[in-house]
Amino acid sequence: RRLRRRPTITLLDVFQGHARNQPHRVLLRYREEVYTYQDVERRSNRLGRALLGLLSPQEQRGGSVAVFLPNEPAYIWTWLALAKLGIPMACLNSNVRGQALRHALAAAGATVIIASTGE
């Protein structure tokens, strides 16, 4: 039934509802770090503003962004920032290298790549 609702409720909508209604509730625990909904909301908003300053209007409207990050909290707020901006995200496996990575990048057709310093 939920899938037939109009307008469709997205994961971003659910996240933002939780961030609004229970901002201090823990969303993530990663190693020794704890992130609340409010923390993740703020970080995704900051990244979204930074991306708007970096991406050209053409990239914002028609491009995708390749995300080459390991499994870490930054991946989540990167995804949320791109979702808020309406920019498609091409998820690249951070373990892939060489020819397989070149193929994945070409297939993604992304004009921008977000990667951690270790990648």
Residue 51 lies in a domain: yes
Q: Quote the number of domains for the chain.
A: 1
Rg, Å, the chain Cα set: 16
Residue 44 lies in a domain: yes
Quote the pLDDT of residue 53: 83
Cα torsion through 29, 42, 82, 57, rounded to 10: -160
Among residues 44, 72, 45, 48, the alpha carbon closest in space to that of 60 is found at 48
pTM over 0.75: yes
Q: What single DSSP character describes residue 99? A: H
Angle separating helix axes 73-85 and 11-21, nearest 10 degrees: 110
Domain hosting residue 24, numbered range: 11-115
Residue 2 lies in a domain: no
In the Cβ-directed half-sphere of 89, how many Cα atoms lie within 13 Å? 21
CATH number at residue 81: 3.40.50.980
User: Per-residue pLDDT tens for 55-114?
Assistant: 777 666 767 899 999 999 999 999 999 999 988 899 998 888 899 988 988 888 888 889
